[in-house]
Amino acid sequence: MLTGSCWVLLDILNPSPLPPDAERRLRDKHETLMALLASAVAPMLGALVILFVVWDYFVDPTRVAWTLPVRIAFVALSALGYRPGVLPLGASARCIYIHWMFSAAIILSDFLLTDGFRYGLVGVVAGVFFVSLITQTTRGFLLAVSAPFALFVACAAVDRPLPELANDIVFYLLAMAIAFVLMAMIRYLRRSEALLEEELMRQATHDSLTGLLNRGRLNELAAREMALARRHGRPLAVLMLDIDRFKLVNDTYGHDVGDMVIRRLADACREQMRTVDHVGRFGGEEFVCILPETDQSAALACAERLRQVMERQRVESARGEVRFTVSIGVALYDSAHGDWDALLKDADTALYRAKQSGRNRVMLADDCLPVCAEADR
């Protein structure tokens, strides 16, 4: 149990990296939250820092004339970070800057008061816990707490006897350690939430059997790619693949072997496509590849390469080796295609003609002439 707890603690303090997209979304979400904190919450906290001059009055009424201008000055400086564009900083960096200004106002006010650190040390270190909310990284945490801590040590060294100074520093460091663990726990919970969101998004947009995009996500991406092709005059190609005589494979070898064939085809497609291409399972044994920036010759070459790759695939089963082939229909976007359904219909028509012409071949929608006329298998 102790070993398990140690591993959990290590995971909290040093989490494994998220997938790039999830990391970006988590960072953007945090920046949005910090922008709201800087613009809506920080002004209220600034007003509270100034109102604490009442506490100064009860501690040392003779020094209020000194502490009030200090509080007002640093709160006024903090206002530079309330809105974006005033300082060349991101939202998280602006929150760190605001924390510095508020901390400076409190620390310098306590320094000016007689025995201010004795009575106000708790207020000084309380601000450390706000850092747990405004940063997600160890580097950001150290940056946020370093300047206030240095200012506190410099002021307390002048004002406090050595034993009390040492006690104050230990108290401050303990507060920073607790705040760091709190920050790590908040980060861990946020990252766990991001991983859950990533998994839910993956399940909503990917086929469970192959891990490729599902039909709904393909339709969304296709509409986007068609809009880009139309706006910028770029070529766009669509391939529709279908496994030849797939029902015979299921009837002969069983549905589990049929699933293995589908997964093998999906893996081969994934390996052959570029990172900018979109590949998905459209339904059953049908697959669709969306190829941006791809003209006719490149689309036909890609389709023929895929056909040959599938022809070489072998799937082992209890009843022997399974071979399979695919037929492929190719369609190219032009202004006559009003929407994605029209373009997809051309690819589907070309696929149907490829099946009629003997299977295991590529057919172009424009002329429906086979590019590869191999014998039927």
Q: Which residues are catalytic?
A: 285
Q: 274 CB contacts (<8 Å, ≥6 apart)? A: 291
Task: Answer positive or negative: Cα dihedral of 63, 104, 132, 165.
Answer: negative
Q: Which of 322, 346, 345 is nearest to 264 (CA)?
A: 322
Q: Rounded distance, CA 146 to CA 140, Å?
A: 10
Spatial CB neighbours of 244, under 8 Å, sequence gap ≥ 6: 324, 325, 326, 327, 355, 359, 360, 377
C-beta separation of 23 from 17 below 8 A: yes
CA atoms within 13 A on the CB side of 212: 28
CA contacts within 13 A on the Cβ side of 293: 5
Nearest to 285 by CA among 324, 314, 318, 316: 324
Q: For residue 376, which of 311, 330, 321 has the smallest C-alpha distance?
A: 311
Nearest to 82 by CA among 91, 72, 71: 91
Do residues 103 and 71 lie in contact, with contact meaning Cβ atoms separated by under 8 Å?
A: no
